[in-house]
């Protein structure tokens, strides 16, 4: 569950990332680019030694995200 906070209680998120794991590289790319719109890319989405796709970003609202697509064997 997630929700916004009451007026006057907002604090900038820090010390965590929300991780989304998907099984298809195309879905990882789609999610990453949608969340990155008007945000800040910390690590461009790309293939890594552990995944088909992985990327890190801060969305336009300040929420940090990691998008991971499992390695297909």
pLDDT of 53? 97
Tell me if 46 is assigned to some domain: yes
Tell me if 11 is assigned to some domain: no
Would you call 32 helix, strand, or coil by DSSP? helix
Tell me if 13 is assigned to some domain: no
Q: How confident is the model at residue 13 (pLDDT cuts 50, 70, 90)?
A: confident
Q: How many domains is the chain built from? A: 1
Domain that holds residue 38: 18-70
The alpha carbon of residue 42 and the mean position of all alpha carbons in its chain are separated, in whole angstroms, by 10
Tell me if 64 is assigned to some domain: yes
Tell me if 9 is assigned to some domain: no
Query: Tens of pLDDT along 19-71?
Result: 999 999 999 999 999 999 999 999 999 999 999 999 999 999 899 999 999 88
Beta bridge partners of 20: 67
Entry pTM: 0.84
Residues 6 or more apart in contact with residue 13 via CB below 8 angstroms: 62, 63, 64
Q: What is the CATH number of the domain that holds 41?
A: 3.30.720.110
* For residue 1, pLDDT beyond 80: no
């Amino acid at each position: 569950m997630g929700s916004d906070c009451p007026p006057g209680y907002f604090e900038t998120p820090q010390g965590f990332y929300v991780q989304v794991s998907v099984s298809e590289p195309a879905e990882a790319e789609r999610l990453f680019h949608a969340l990155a719109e008007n945000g800040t890319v910390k690590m461009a989405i790309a293939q890594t030694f552990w995944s088909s796709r992985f990327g890190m970003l801060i969305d336009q609202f300040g929420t940090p995200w990691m998008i991971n697509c499992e390695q297909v064997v």
